[in-house]
Chains A and B, each alone.
Chain A
Amino acid sequence: MQTKTNALKQGFIRCHNCGYLTKALHQLLACPRCDSHLHARRPQSLERTTALLLSSLFMYIPANIFPIMTVNQFGTGDTHTIAGGIIELIDTGMIPIGLLVFVASILVPSLKLLGIGLLLICVHFRWKINPRRWTSLYRIIAFIGRWSMLDIFMISILVDLVHFNGVQIIAGPAAIAFSAVVILTMFAAENFDPRLLWDNQPS
């Protein structure tokens, strides 16, 4: 048997931790199974997601302008931005790796900022959309977010391996900004509630 309605319309609240269904009659505050706070939708989902998205948008600017690492070779420093590192990889003929880094540190963060922005606008203005398609957009955004950490981990490995007397690699200020972008967008995706997309559609 299939019902065609939302659980909330039938008066049920799903616990976000353990998935237990509770009848929302008596203004229950805690889940009877796992004792976590019950709320039908993530609290202040839109406000929190917007705040996190805007902060990561601001951090995205220094992340791309400032150098992410400096290579010191016998006294002369050579700074690289995120884009500069990719161009160098492609120039030296390592095209597949260059593309990989391009996807992880430029394409994914910018598409993620754009995608979360679109989801927010869509819910706020109650666009009539195909919610199934937009839910998969949300799933893709939530899945790819963590892969942007690639650049940060790579810097930690390079800084550790290359510290010789003549040659050193030093992390630059953009590394802080970039890890802030990745983490803030991950929190933003976590705070967005995809069920809001379905609530706005006429059933």
Chain B
Amino acid sequence: MNSTSYVACPECDLLINYAQPKVGEKIHCPRCDVLLLKPSKQTIERTFALSFAGFILFFPANFLPLVSISLFGNANSDIIMSGVLALFTKTMWPVAIVVFLTSIVFPFAQISLSLLISGHLYFNQPNRYLICWMRWIHHLNEWVMLEVYMLSIIVACVKLMAISPLKFGWGLYAFVALIFITTLLISNRDNHLFWQRIEQLCKDNNHAN
């Protein structure tokens, strides 16, 4: 029995023998219904393009003001990092670290790792760190909380609108676009294909040496 034509369901451990699905087909686990494989066209090219766009958008989303408020003639504007710093100085450093990690560090790590992996696969460049990067990105997905942050911007705005008028900055538009990109990136990435390509690249590299 050749083990490569089999997969085990990650959630119920059912051993499944499958025929390679065509583009656009989906394979669900017949027992617990989890989505196993969803091949699509040009996965690597799309991931590369999306993570490149995300990498560019990350900077305006983080350095331009998201929202500004003015009260008694004074104006304050908010970027993600200034929210972290405001918490950090007020003995709330554990919360500040959590916010810093989930809304700045992890999104940046996810986008840059995705750019590195898809870039190497796109240009067929073997790299001994590819396996490491794939393992890290596998654990990051759940801890990237940009869309939760967006929802809390909305709630905070509704709360503050009663006090004084708000102004939305260019950073907010970049931030919304960044959320679209990361969501597409997660739904588009095909781990199965990526691992197969990485395995192939490593093998070819070993033969060449």
Q: Which residues of A approach B to under 8 Å, CB–CB?
A: 1-3, 5-8, 10, 12, 14, 16-23, 33-36, 89, 92, 94, 97, 100-101, 104, 131-132, 135, 138-139, 142, 145-147, 149-167, 170-171, 175-176, 179-180, 183, 186, 190, 194-195, 197-199
B83–A176 contact, CB under 8 A?
Answer: no
- Chain A contacts for B98, CB-based, 8 A: 149, 152, 179, 183
Instruction: List 28 contacting pairs A-B, 8 Å CB cutoff, sorted by A.
Output: A2-B30, A6-B13, A10-B15, A18-B134, A19-B10, A19-B192, A20-B195, A35-B131, A100-B151, A135-B34, A149-B145, A150-B152, A150-B155, A153-B152, A156-B87, A157-B78, A158-B160, A159-B90, A161-B78, A161-B160, A162-B76, A162-B160, A164-B72, A166-B72, A175-B92, A175-B95, A195-B13, A198-B13
Residue of A with least CB distance to B157: A157
Is B177 an interface position by the 8 A CB rule?
A: no
Q: What total of A-B pairs shows CB separation below 8 Å? A: 198
Segment of B1-9, B40-48, B180-188 engaged in the interface with chain A: B1-9
Instruction: Kindly identify, within residues 154 to 173 of chain B, every residue whose CB is under 8 Å from any CB belonging to chain A.
Output: 155-156, 158-160, 162-163
Q: How many angstroms between the C-alpha atoms of A176 and B195 in the bound complex?
A: 39
B140 touches A (CB below 8 Å):
no
Chain A residues within an 8 Å CB radius of B195: 18-20, 33-34
Residues of B within 8 A of A (CB): 3-4, 6-8, 10-17, 30-34, 67-69, 71-72, 74, 76-78, 82-87, 90, 92, 94-96, 98-99, 102-103, 131, 134-135, 138, 142-143, 145, 148-149, 151-153, 155-156, 158-160, 162-163, 191-192, 195, 199
**Which of A10, A101, A156 is in CB contact (< 8 Å) with B155?**
A101
Interface centre among B78, B82, B152 (most CB of A within 10 A): B152
Question: With a CB–CB cut-off of 8 A, which chain A residues contact B7?
Answer: 14, 19, 21
**A residues less than 8 Å from B159 (CB atoms):** 89, 94, 97, 154, 158
Q: Which residues of A contact B86 (CB under 8 A)?
A: 156, 159-160, 163
For the complex formed, measure the closest distance between the CB of B195 and the CB atoms of chain A, giving whole angstroms.
5
A2-B17 in contact given A132-B33, A158-B159 (Cβ < 8 Å): yes
Choice from B32, B95, B142, B162 contacting A186 with Cβ under 8 Å: B142
Report yes or no: B17 in contact with A163, Cβ–Cβ below 8 A. Answer: no
Inter-subunit contact B15/A179 (CB<8 Å): no
Which of B11, B83, B138, B142 lies in contact with A160, CB distance below 8 A?
A: B83
Chain A positions within 8 Å of B90 at CB level: 159, 170-171
* A3 & B12 in contact (Cβ 8 Å cutoff): no
By the criterion CB–CB under 8 Å, are A146 and B145 in contact?
yes
Which chain A positions have C-beta within 8 A of B156?
154, 157-158, 161
Task: Decide if A156 touches B8 in the complex (CB within 8 Å).
Answer: no
Provide the residues of chain B in CB contact with A104, threshold 8 Å: 151
Q: Which residues of A lie under 8 Å from residue B13 when comparing CB positions?
A: 6-8, 14, 195, 198-199
Contact of A12 (CB < 8 Å), options: B8, B83, B163: B8
Rounded to whole angstroms, the CA-CA distance of A114 and B39 in the bound complex is: 37
Docked complex Cα distance between A180 and B98 (Å): 9
Does the CB pair A17–B99 fall under 8 Å? no
* Contact in complex: B135, A7 (CB < 8 Å): no
Contacts of B12 in A (CB 8 A): 6, 131, 135, 194-195, 197-198
Partner of B83, one of A150, A159, A195: A159
- Neighbouring B residues of A17 by C-beta, 8 Å: 134-135, 138
Residues of A within 8 A of B14 (CB): 3, 5-7, 198
Contacts A171-B90, A175-B95, A176-B95 given; indicate if A146 touches B72 (C-beta within 8 A). Answer: no
Across the interface, do B148 and A149 meet the contact criterion of CB distance under 8 Å?
A: yes
A27 to B103, CA, bound (A): 41
- Identity of the chain B residue whose Cβ is nearest the Cβ of A32 in the assembled complex: B199
